[in-house]
Amino acid sequence: MPAPIYELITYQVAVLLTAILLYEAVSNSRQLRWIYAGLVYLVTVLWYLIDPVYTPKDYARFTPEELDTAFTQVIVFLLAFRVLMGVIVRKTPTLVLRSLDPAQFDKASVVRSLLLAWFALWMIGVVLARFEVLDLMLPLKGRFGGVTMFGRGRFGGSTGFLLSAAGYIYLVLCSGFGLLYVCSKRSSVRMLMLLMICFTWPMYFLAGTRHLALAVGMPAIFAALLIKPWTRAQQVGFVIVCALVLNIAMLAAIQYRQRGFASAIEQGTITSEIQDAHHQGLNMTQELVFMNRYQEAGMLPIEWGNNYLGHFLNFVPRAIWADKPFVGREFALLRVGKYKGDVSATISFGFIGQGVANFGGLIGPLAPAFLLTFLGQWIVSLPTHGFQSLRILLVLFIFGSLPNLGRDISLFVLWPIVFAHVIVVLYEHNTALSQRRPAYRPQQTRHVPGGIPPPERQIPDDRFSPLQL
């Protein structure tokens, strides 16, 4: 009978180190970089330190030496990330988030642009779903029993990226409803955003796509937590309530993502079944152990960056790059095998396991530390230039998406952030052009004695533009 996980020295050190780093991050929360660092520490806890004590029976198949190696790699990542954050990332005050001007988002043009963009993508999704609107917006039959918006195959296809891009932009727009609801001070705008939330968000939850549900809802939670002028006690209370609600929502999503909510609603068994449900999929420590085991046995060669490269080149459509590699296929084959000639499931490496896959067990944990540090440097620099209020919303959206990076650091998770940033840059560019463009002022008629008007002044044709009319 193997010793419990919590008796391993390496696990105890990892937990103690995380607690110290979290305390330091909270103590220095006046700097935006340490809020980001604290979120990364929590992501590490979520994906690597909870599951070993939450489902200890699943770890009985591993030797203490294998577990020690995995937790040592977690410790190396935490230490490297802390050092790099202190050396590389700039000191941006957290108070910059309070610079958000709600009046900027209460303008009719902003709300109209958001709604029009959403409606255009929604119509495309409805057409792709063959106009099954009710099953699309309320997928009570589960992920395999109904239709999906912008659905694609497990490894994509010739148009896989285009469908994914549409889905990511749609997610960003739906998340924008929550951000505007929190930030707006006009009751009419808040009511409209609340209606849009009730219409668009249930699709992500009922379909059991936990990472998308978090990406849609978490930015609004961070906006309320970091922007609202609450006391510390109010913030703590808000966090506790949100944690309880999210816990129940994620348990329900796991319980019904396969068979759907429809049968449970008819039988009235939702409450009892959720009470018996358990969280699943937080087992990145297991995947890290398997990664080390396969590499040591020579079954899985070190990829030397090819895995990262494949992830960050996944925007190239297969219609253009027919031989584009299937990232993670070899690891998935070793873990779950084939079904009907294809990999039976995709397996996430975990962000630390991904580093090990790319650079081996010794230096692999340093790779995600560098990547997440550079991501943090970019995030804290966002509100320091450009359209500040809009960039603050972008920062909050990124914070809400961070938990999903625990499974893999890839564009599959980062695409919503990329498209959100593109939207911000395009808006800033369009605003700058409109401010530089001279406004046409009609020539006023002057009174001339004798009743003979002066000759009309010829205005150059380039003064007229459809954009100005």
Residue type, 434: S
In a domain, 183, yes or no: yes
Q: Report, as an integer, the average pLDDT of 313-321.
A: 73
| Cα–Cα dist 182/396, whole Å | 12
Q: Are residues 119 and 246 in the same domain?
A: yes
Q: What is the pLDDT of residues 51-83, one digit of tens each?
A: 898 888 888 889 999 999 999 999 999 999 999
| Cα–Cα dist 60/466, whole Å | 70
The per-residue pLDDT of the chain, averaged, comes to 82
Q: Two tokens at 143?
A: 């992920």
Q: Where are the alpha helices (DSSP H) in 28-132?
A: 32-44, 51-54, 64-88, 108-128
Lowest-pLDDT choice from 42-51, 70-79, 193-202, 398-407: 398-407
Q: Two tokens at 142?
A: 């589960």
Residue type, 189: V
- Residue 345, burial from CB neighbour count under 10 angstroms (0-12, 13-18, 19+): exposed
In a domain, 444, yes or no: no
Closest Cα partner for 202 from 267, 134, 263? 134
Q: Are residues 46 and 108 in the same domain?
A: no
Contact 92, 32 (CB under 8 A): yes
Backbone angles phi, psi at 372, to 5 degrees: -70, -30
Q: What is the pLDDT of residues 124-177, one digit of tens each?
A: 988 888 888 888 888 777 665 566 777 655 444 545 667 777 888 898 899 989
> In sequence order, what are the residues at sequence separation of 6 or more whose Cβ sits closer than 8 angstroms to the Cβ of residue 362?
none
In a domain, 420, yes or no: no
Closest Cα partner for 100 from 173, 188, 184? 184
| Cα–Cα dist 264/276, whole Å | 14
Neighbours of 160 (CB within 10 A): 18
In a domain, 182, yes or no: yes
Residue that is written with structure tokens 């840059």 in the block: 425
The total of structural domains in the chain comes to 3
In a domain, 294, yes or no: yes
Structural domain range at position 230: 102-275
Lowest-pLDDT choice from 15-24, 302-311, 334-343, 353-362: 334-343
Q: Are residues 231 and 359 in the same domain?
A: no
Contact 49, 14 (CB under 8 A): yes
Strand (E) or helix (H) holding 339 = strand 338-339
Q: Report, as an integer, the average pLDDT of 245-267.
A: 77
Higher pLDDT, 17 or 100: 17
In a domain, 296, yes or no: yes
The pLDDT of residue 464 is 32
The pLDDT of residue 458 is 47
The domain boundary, picked from 364, 391, 418, lies at 364
Residue 465 has pLDDT above 70, yes or no: no
DSSP state at residue 155: T
Statement: the pTM of the whole predicted model exceeds 0.85: no
Contact 146, 260 (CB under 8 A): yes
Q: Two tokens at 263?
A: 């049968």
Q: Report, as an integer, the average pLDDT of 220-247.
A: 87
In a domain, 74, yes or no: yes
Q: Are residues 151 and 39 in the same domain?
A: no
Lowest-pLDDT choice from 91-105, 300-314, 395-409, 449-463: 449-463
Residue type, 401: S
